[in-house]
Amino acid sequence: DGTGAALLADFYAMTGRTDDALVILKQLADTPAHAAVARRQAAAVLVAARRPEEARAAIDAALAATPKD
């Protein structure tokens, strides 16, 4: 299950390891069962890291993949 990976990504994001967090979230996003949550979490990580252009792209990708979520 992706819970452990998502928690590790959170830890990385909270400790300033944004790129490491994003690598994990990309891997989760490639798994259909975790894709929607991982994409939203990636967008949140990017917003927190003050990377608004990338955050917007992540949000757009999340909405395109799961428009009803």
In the predicted model, is pLDDT for residue 66 greater than 90? no
- CA–CA gap between residue 36 and residue 49 (Å, rounded): 20
* pLDDT (tens digit per residue) in 23-61: 999 999 999 888 888 999 999 999 999 999 999 998 998
In the predicted model, is pLDDT for residue 63 greater than 90? no
- Is 22 strand, coil or helix? helix
Res 2: pLDDT: 83
- CA–CA gap between residue 30 and residue 57 (Å, rounded): 16
In the predicted model, is pLDDT for residue 65 greater than 90? no
Burial class (CB in 10 A: 0-12, 13-18, 19+), 41: buried
For residues 3 and 67, the model is more confident at 3
At 67, is the pLDDT very low, low, confident or very high (cuts 50, 70, 90)? confident
- CA–CA gap between residue 13 and residue 51 (Å, rounded): 13
- CA–CA gap between residue 15 and residue 35 (Å, rounded): 23
